[in-house]
Copies of this chain bind each other. A is one copy, B any other.
Amino acid sequence: MVTLKDISIECGVSQATVSKALNGLPDIGEETANYIRSVAKRMGYLPNATARALKLGSSHNIGILFVDKTSCGLKHEYFSEILNSLKVEAERLGYDVTFISKDIGQFSMDYYQHAKYRNCDGVVIASVDFKDPDVIRLVESEIPTVTLDYTFDSRTSVLSDNVGGMQEIVRYVYQNGHRRIAFIHGEDTSVTQKRIASFFKTCTELGIRVPESYVCAAIYHDPRSSGLATRNLLALPERPTCILYPDDFSFIGGMNELEQQGLSIPDDMSVVGYDGILLSQVLRPKLTTFRQDAETMGRKAAALLIEQIEKPKSWIPQLITVSGELLEGHSVKSIRI
């Protein structure tokens, strides 16, 4: 490994001079600086991030908190897409990305401690239990954080537009003549609450009456529970004409149930997903769904976090809502009224 010292010897100048030249400080002669830079390049010099971090107290490294509680965190395309764009943007801005967790080796530490231990300049928090005291401790600490799809007081967060998404879906379905719309939602999270609220609000605005039995619970990313909910809906005396699913993947459960009962999509039943993952676009009939712009969410999260890290004085917490778009497929039938 070639260090500043090696270069200083090679150049016949002091270590300090080399450091300044390489960092472009103005108090080094043009000529000397150029010479030093050329030698450094020739010798294949690379700064040592560790030494730098120790000296500067900042590591140019951000943490990512991504708990795989249901062991489907990363498996979910929504999150893996966020993770990827987050990584790309962070790297573009000169930051590396390290996973943060509890229990690293023998040490049992919480997220905050882990982040401190690694000298993370900031942490992006996604797909965790936001009620976890350890998560709260991290968020309330002095470490800059950005949360995804959840808001803490005086903290920056990037949110998918669940209210707008659900509104667009309901309106689209309404425009296609549907008045009996059922909604199978995911487990109780703030995301789910927003979607449910938006569902009811939009229905009310459109003058649609929603029987209680039309709104039922399932689990995200779990086709089985959505299949069950579908079966229940189909058993109602007055069947809905359209079913909204928690997400595209869960819809598979509904798809199976419908097929088993000999019902075809969209002729006998209209369906809508959520997420806009690859799968939704390759199913036939193509699934009508609402695409969440995960790529933008990850990118913004990284950019906002790094801005907060680099300009701590001028920083103010922000709530960024990333809008998505309705992807029209062929799973919603147009009903003449």
Q: Which B residues lie within 8 Å of A98 (CB)?
A: 61, 96-99
CB <8 Å contact, B253 and A116: no
Q: Is A104 an interface residue (CB 8 A)?
A: yes
- Interface digits, A54-96 against B, CB 8 Å rule (1 contact, 0 not)? 1000011100000010011111010011011001100111111
CB <8 Å contact, A96 and B118: yes
A249 to B106, CA, bound (A): 40
Number of this chain's copies in the complex: 2
Count residues of chain A with CB under 8 A from any CB of chain B. Answer: 60
Q: A61-B98, A252-B282, A260-B284 are in contact. Are A48 and B119 (CB under 8 A)?
A: yes
Q: Is A223 an interface residue (CB 8 A)?
A: yes
Q: Which B residues lie within 8 Å of A99 (CB)?
A: 87, 91, 96-98
Q: Which residues of A contact B (CB under 8 A)?
A: 1, 46-51, 53-54, 59-61, 68, 71-75, 77, 80-81, 83-84, 87-88, 91-99, 101, 103-107, 109, 113, 116-119, 223-224, 249, 252-253, 255-256, 259-260, 278-279, 282-284
Q: Could you list 6 examples of A-B contacts with CB < 8 Å? A: A54-B54, A73-B84, A74-B80, A75-B278, A97-B98, A97-B99
